[in-house]
Amino acid sequence: MTTQTFKKRLGLSLVVTLLLLVASGVLFAPPLFAAESDVALEMNSKNIMWAVISAALAFSVGAVSAGFAISHVGAAAMGAMSEKPEIGGQALIFIALAEGLVVFGFITALMILGKV
Amino acid sequence: MSIGALSRYAFINAKLKSRITSMLTARQIDTLSRSKTLTEALYSLRGTHYEPLIELYHQSGDIERLEAWLFARNIILHQEVNSHLKGGGGAVVAALTRKLEVENLKSVIRLWFSNRIKRQNIDYRYGYLYQGKITSEIEWARIVNSTHFSEIVEALEGTPYREPLSHFSNEQVEQEGLFDVEITLDKIWFNLLREEAKSLSKEDRSILEQVLERDADLKNIINLFRFGWLYTLDGEHLKTLMLEGGVITKSEEFQEYLEQPAQSRSPMKLIAFRFPELAKELAASRESSSENLTLMVESYLFKVRREEYRKMLRGNPFTIGTILAYFFLEERQNSIVRTIINGVNYGWEAEAIEEYTL
């Protein structure tokens, strides 16, 4: 690909992105700006409801998965540590990896709630 | 990998894998076999799972006491693993523990035989036997003190050994010895293990069945080699020694082997059919001593088993394979320690001891 074609394509993609942004603004902005109307109010509360459900799901699924993973990783870690206590530090890393799932869920939930 | 397998094996398999990593190393075994005295050998086991042997030897000065401790340790390890397993896995481990019960039962019946049939003094030997519960409730003292073989059978009421042993009469045992009784006992535990394999999950069942099929072939080839070729037992008798399973007993070569006159049999065709590498090794060997040839066969077959178990340890960690491999390695390690402490005690050279530790 020559530099000229690359520049052309870059320009074109920038224009398309800009158009898409404007189009989405036109499509989705009215309900937000027309908060006074009943229809807009109803749509807004629906959006909030789904956002809250998504946040709850993100957190709860993350927490349940972490619990499940920790129960098994923890059991294996306990089994190994009962024979070799010196590997406790390494075992903790694996438990922390499983724990990470709930942290991801929590951050995702916070991000969703931040948009409401 | 199923969730069930994960919950079932996460704890126990991690525990056993840790134990495997703290087993005796090749260097420790070498130091052990190069010891000049038994005390030196035992002190080289300091810091290992075998450390209690040092104290035990100091207290008793008795090597047979050490062997009894090794046997009891093996039973305790089996029972401990079993306590962490539920369902099919637990039943299979219990069936594996039965092998140790059968070994103990054979020793007890041998004592009874020495006492009642050969009229030997057994008082000092009885103390070395394991007298606790292994899997079934067996009154060991009642067996040793039986006056008749039928009393032994009665003492085994409520165990799976009673019915098959009830086919033996006192006269038969007196005249023919315990060889067939012992073979029957071996077949009982092997068949019980095969039965228990059916209660496992699909993946575990496939692993265990593969192990049993291979073990049946290995045991059968050793029996055909030892009893069919070296001791020239007749075909019919030889057939009763065979374990169920494997491919050897279903082969045409096996039928041909049995039909041949005992004096002119050669196990080479059978060995070549199932273990071609071993057949080549035997053909290339200039060994003529039957004992050394048997050792060669056993050594080769042991290597086959070891390789299979190593594969299991490298494979899926959430299967019964880890447990089977652990028992195999633990049994092997016990056997090595037993052989070395006996060899050192009798003043054998390290090289001679190593030959027997494979």
Does residue B220 contact residue B187 with C-beta atoms inside 8 Å? no
CB contact, 8 Å: A90 with chain B?
Answer: no
A23 and A50 together in one domain: no
Q: Count each helix (H run) and each strand (E run) in chain A, helices first.
A: 3, 0
Q: Is residue B185 part of a domain?
A: yes
CB contact, 8 Å: B13 with chain A?
Answer: yes
The parent domain of residue A87 ranges over 36-115
Residue B116 burial by CB count (10 A; 0-12/13-18/19+): exposed, middle or buried?
buried
Q: Is residue B232 part of a domain?
A: no
CA distance A102 to chain B (A): 20
A2 and A25 together in one domain: yes
Which residues in chain A have their CB less than 8 angstroms from residue B18's CB?
79-80, 82-84, 87
Which residues in chain A have their CB less than 8 angstroms from residue B6's CB?
72
Restricting to A residues 44-83, those with a Cβ less than 8 Å away from any Cβ of B are: 72-73, 75-80, 82-83
Q: Does the interface ipTM go beyond 0.90?
A: no
CB contact, 8 Å: A85 with chain B?
Answer: no
Q: pLDDT tens digit string along A84-96?
A: 999 999 999 999 9
- How far is Cα B49 from Cα B65, in angstroms, rounded to an integer? 17
A66 and A101 together in one domain: yes
A55 and A27 together in one domain: no
So what's the pLDDT on residue A62? 94
Structural domain count of chain B: 1
A40 and A65 together in one domain: yes
Q: Is residue B320 part of a domain?
A: no
- How far is Cα B77 from Cα B244, in angstroms, rounded to an integer? 28
Restricting to B residues 91-130, those with a Cβ less than 8 Å away from any Cβ of A are: none
pLDDT mean over A69-77: 92
Neighbours of B172 (CB within 10 A): 13
Nearest to B12 among A72, A77, A79 (CB): A79
User: Which amino acid would we find at residue B329?
Assistant: L
Q: What 3 state SS string does B50-102 have?
A: CCHHHHHHHHHCCHHHHHHHHHHHHHHHHHHHHHCCCHHHHHHHHHHHHHHHH
Which residue, among A68, A73, A81, A84, would best test binding to B if mutated, counting the most B CBs under 10 Å from its CB? A84
A49 and A74 together in one domain: yes
So what's the pLDDT on residue A28? 53
Which residue, among B2, B3, B6, B326, would best test binding to A if mutated, counting the most A CBs under 10 Å from its CB? B6
A92 and A47 together in one domain: yes
Which residues in chain A have their CB less than 8 angstroms from residue B14's CB?
75-80
Q: pLDDT tens for chain B, 358 residues: list them.
A: 566 778 789 999 999 999 999 999 999 999 999 999 999 999 999 999 999 999 999 999 999 999 999 999 999 999 999 999 988 889 999 999 999 999 999 999 999 999 999 988 888 888 899 999 999 999 999 999 999 999 999 999 999 999 999 999 999 999 999 999 999 999 999 999 999 999 999 999 999 999 999 889 888 888 888 887 777 788 888 888 899 888 888 888 888 888 888 777 887 888 888 888 888 888 888 776 777 778 888 888 888 888 999 999 998 889 999 999 999 999 999 999 999 999 999 998 888 888 777 6
Q: Count each helix (H run) and each strand (E run) in chain B, helices first.
A: 20, 0
Q: Which one has a higher pLDDT value, A42 or A23?
A: A42
Which residues in chain B have their CB less than 8 angstroms from residue A64's CB?
none
Which of B183, B189, B131 is closest to B159 using CA atoms? B189
- How far is Cα A69 from Cα B215, in angstroms, rounded to an integer? 37
In the DSSP assignment, the letter for residue B243 is: P
CB contact under 8 A, A72 and B7: yes
CA distance A77 to chain B (A): 7
Q: Is residue B5 part of a domain?
A: no
Structural domain count of chain A: 2
Percentage of the residues of chain A whose pLDDT score is greater than 70: 68
A28 and A50 together in one domain: no
A40 and A82 together in one domain: yes
pLDDT band at A14 (very low <50, low <70, confident <90, very high): low
CB contact under 8 A, A84 and B12: no
Which residues in chain A have their CB less than 8 angstroms from residue B22's CB?
83-84
The parent domain of residue B131 ranges over 85-200
Q: Is residue B305 part of a domain?
A: no
CB contact under 8 A, A75 and B11: yes
So what's the pLDDT on residue B172? 93
Residues with Cβ within 8 Å of residue B190, at least 6 apart in sequence:
B212, B215, B216, B243, B244
CB contact under 8 A, A75 and B15: no
Residue of A nearest to B81 (CA): A79
CA distance A64 to chain B (A): 15
Does residue B225 contact residue B297 with C-beta atoms inside 8 Å? yes
Q: Is residue B297 part of a domain?
A: no
A28 and A47 together in one domain: no
- To the nearest whole number, what is the mean pLDDT of chain A? 79
Which of B46, B24, B35, B43 is closest to B350 using CA atoms? B35
A20 and A70 together in one domain: no
pLDDT band at A21 (very low <50, low <70, confident <90, very high): very low
A11 and A43 together in one domain: no
